[in-house]
Amino acid sequence: MSWKKNGIKYFLERKDVCYELLLGSPPYILIITKKMNDRIGPFVITETNTCDFIYRTEDLKARLTALGLPIPEGIE
For Cα atoms 58, 16, 12, give the angle at the middle one, nearest 5 degrees.
40
Mean pLDDT of 38-54: 83
Residue 52 has pLDDT above 80, yes or no: yes
Per domain, the residue ranges of the chain are 4-66
CA count, 13 A, side-chain hemisphere, 33: 10
Give the length of the chain: 76
Instruction: Yes or no: say if 46 and 34 are a contact pair by the CB < 8 Å rule.
Output: no
Question: What pLDDT is recorded for position 49?
Answer: 87
Q: What is the value of pTM for the model shown?
A: 0.79
